[in-house]
Structure 1
Amino acid sequence: MASNNYPKLHNATWPGVVGKGAPGAEPIIPLDTLLKLTANAEVDGQKFDGVDLWLADPHISIDSSKDDVKRMADHIGSFGLKVGSFVAPIWGGAGGGSAMGDADDVKRFLTQVEKACKIGQQMREIGIRPTGGVRVDSSTGVEAWDTDPVGNTNKIADTFREAGRIAQHYGEYIVAEGEICWGGMHSWRENVKLLELVNMPGVVGYQADMAHSMLFVLGANAEKDRILAKDFQWSDKAALDAAYHQVADALRPWTLDFHVAQNDGTTFGSGDHEKTGRHCQIDDPNGRLDVVKHAGYWLRDDRGELTRKMRHICWDGCMFPNAVMEQQETWNKVLGAMLKVRDAHGWRE
């Protein structure tokens, strides 16, 4: 029987940029290097289908002209790859602003979202981008949010709702990635609360990263939302499964984009990036996730049926060391794991 061909398998390009390039950090990895490594990965004759993109210099400028976008689409296509989800550079240091900030902050945030949506629409029209959303976060820290939790969550919801309206205009959708470092998105309950306030299902949803979402069970940056006991032992697989299932059950109805990842249960920051859930290699002996099994918590509903909501899934190795990222074998192993996830939780069309 032929193997599954959906969801399509993508590699992320932003790990070449995030946490890199700042003083004392490792250098940025060029987009072409990542495209070549992705395109050259192969397991039993199967390859990656595409890439998810970072829409900021030095990879792809958010201010790209139509000609620039066409050239980049042709260039990526020359590697035999499609394009999926985008990361919009909505942070203050990248030209954006806080989603709970003043009017100027919010305007800059939404301007970056609109630029990303325009590029997304153009790439769809070109034909290289059959699927994918525009990724955002609250662009604010947990301490700043905590000065007024209710008021600030309402502000973030207002900004995300307007981002959703912009996305709809361009035929796009917004995926908000919850991580322990983003104020108002730093726990599973806060993410659910925020998305319910936005109230635009199918337009503003959740981007689930397996590693980041797992940290929610430990109550990192949100002790009141901890699920596992403080004296939890990682050897208790059943307790981890139950806790992680609780997080996935709460956020799955909102999930529109999904990152396969491994996590060792610790936090990590690199360069100018705040500490968040540490991604680790797929075969890291300290990895706490059963990647294939736990991916199913997101890709199947509470009855165990396939949701088929994600037309593509992506690997995220954010803040991997350059020495790891620049080895072809790293991506062969990742692709092998992604294929196992698709074999277990995918389908054929």
Structure 2
Amino acid sequence: MKNNFPKLHNATWPGIVGKGPDSQPPIPLDKMLEMTAAAEVNGNKFDGVDLGLLDPHINIDSSDDEIKRLADKIAGYGLNVGSLVAPIWGGPTLGSDEDRKTFVEMVRKACHFGKVLREHGIRQYGVIRIDSASSPEQWSKDPEKSKELIVETFRAACDVAAEYDEKLAAEGEICWGGMHSWKIMVDTLEAVDRPNIGFQADMSHTLLYLLGYNAPEHRILPKDFDWSDRSVLEAGLKTVTDALRPWTIDFHVAQNDGTVHGTGSHDKTGRHCLATDPNGKLDVAKDAGYWLRDGNGNLTKAFKHICWDGCMFDNDVMMKQQTWNDILAKLVEVRDLHGWSE
């Protein structure tokens, strides 16, 4: 029997992130759902979507009836829901006391949203994704105080999430203070010290950890690194994944060409490349194994689904059905190599 886990998801928020008045118009949620549902590769389809609880796609203050209607709409496309992104950026952890209260309240609202989806039956796995909502520049003004504020806020958010039986996954991305280096990320998670905090690994973002863009002191690859030297790259990937894999509870499959990119209001971070990009530095299906298997090569089965995140792709790329077919094909490759059957 072919592998049926992990389930294969597409993210909806690339229709919003990096879009806007100073970039390109957002792509409606219905269009993202339609193109996800239409993708097919050798009889394989997407199993579901991960949702960004963000305007203009979704109102975080939706009533329970509105959330159920959304669930019915998604189910109508033959899709499930997995992880949810809490809209915490109006409450930066390194802002005011009021900002931090807003952060925790947004996590509570996201957890309630997830509870309604669970009770509906459309969401059987997944986590609530968070980040520090603050920049590395802010963090670096006073690293010790910054760490203290992030940890305090994350602990409060974890306590709220626990009331809903939810886990929080902090996104490892170089544009978030306290998350901008693999060593600092581990340090932050250890300090939070809650059973329901974990790490969200995105293969595009975590590759940038090896290059030390916003934390040169934690760079792993040499400055004149020759990308054709797979042995050095693989050793670097092993170092980062050995440190962060024990924390990883949510996973994005992605490609990166070794550069940073930002559009609209989004700060520069790891560039998400197309699954077929010839400049991609990762052997995506093989390198996903560093996250999906432990140091002895055994499957961790630490999460029930994997997701493709294609943030900041141009709209003309995202509106082509072939784009989503190619992405699905790459996810199927990952599942063929590192999946299991239940």
User: TM-score, length-normalised on structure 2?
Assistant: 0.99
Corresponding residue to 2:50 among 36, 49, 52? 52
Match of 1:328 in 2: 321
Q: Please list, as runs of the form range in 1=range in 2, the aligned pairs for 1:192-231 lying within 5 A after superposition.
A: 192-201=186-195, 203-231=196-224
- Tell me how far 1:136 sits from its aligned partner: 0.6
Counterpart amino acid of residue 296 in structure 1: G
Q: Please list, as runs of the form range in 1=range in 2, the aligned pairs for 1:257-296 lying within 5 A after superposition.
A: 257-296=250-289
Kindly report structure 1 stretches of 4+ aligned residues shifted beyond 3 Å.
none
Counterpart amino acid of residue 3 in structure 1: K
Residues 27-57 of structure 1 deviation map (CA, whole Å, 9 limit, x = unaligned): 0000000101000000111100000001021
Counterparts of 2:223 and 2:144, CA distance in 1: 27
Q: Is the 8 A contact 1:259 1:315 kept in 2?
A: yes
Counterparts of 2:173 and 2:229, CA distance in 1: 24
SS in 1 for 2:256: strand
Q: Is the 8 A contact 1:100 1:159 kept in 2?
A: no
SS in 2 for 1:314: strand
- Tell me how far 1:231 sits from its aligned partner: 1.2
Q: Flag structure 1 segments of 5+ consecutive residues without an equivalent.
A: none
User: TM-score, length-normalised on structure 1?
Assistant: 0.97
Counterparts of 2:65 and 2:42, CA distance in 1: 37
Counterpart amino acid of residue 138 in structure 1: S
- Note the aligned Cα RMSD (angstroms): 0.7
Counterpart amino acid of residue 181 in structure 1: C
Q: Is the 8 A contact 1:54 1:87 kept in 2?
A: yes
Match of 1:138 in 2: 132
1:98 matched to 2:97? The reply is no
Question: Would you say how many aligned residue pairs link Structure 1 and Structure 2?
Answer: 342
Q: Is the 8 A contact 1:135 1:175 kept in 2?
A: yes
Match of 1:30 in 2: 28
Identity of aligned residues (%): 59
Counterparts of 1:17 and 1:313, CA distance in 2: 20
Match of 1:20 in 2: 19
Match of 2:308 in 1: 315
- Tell me how far 1:158 sits from its aligned partner: 1.0
> Which deviates more, 205-214 or 97-106?
97-106
- Tell me how far 1:162 sits from its aligned partner: 1.0
Q: Flag structure 2 segments of 5+ consecutive residues without an equivalent.
A: none
1:163 matched to 2:157? The reply is yes
SS in 2 for 1:263: coil
1:81 matched to 2:79? The reply is yes
Residues 56-108 of structure 1 deviation map (CA, whole Å, 9 limit, x = unaligned): 2111111010010010000000000000001111002xxxx111322101001
Counterpart amino acid of residue 2 in structure 2: S
SS in 2 for 1:259: strand
- Tell me how far 1:155 sits from its aligned partner: 1.1
SS in 2 for 1:182: coil
Q: Is the 8 A contact 2:94 2:138 kept in 1?
A: no
SS in 1 for 2:209: helix
Residues 128-170 of structure 1 deviation map (CA, whole Å, 9 limit, x = unaligned): 0011111110010111110110111121011111111111101
1:300 matched to 2:298? The reply is no
SS in 2 for 1:180: coil
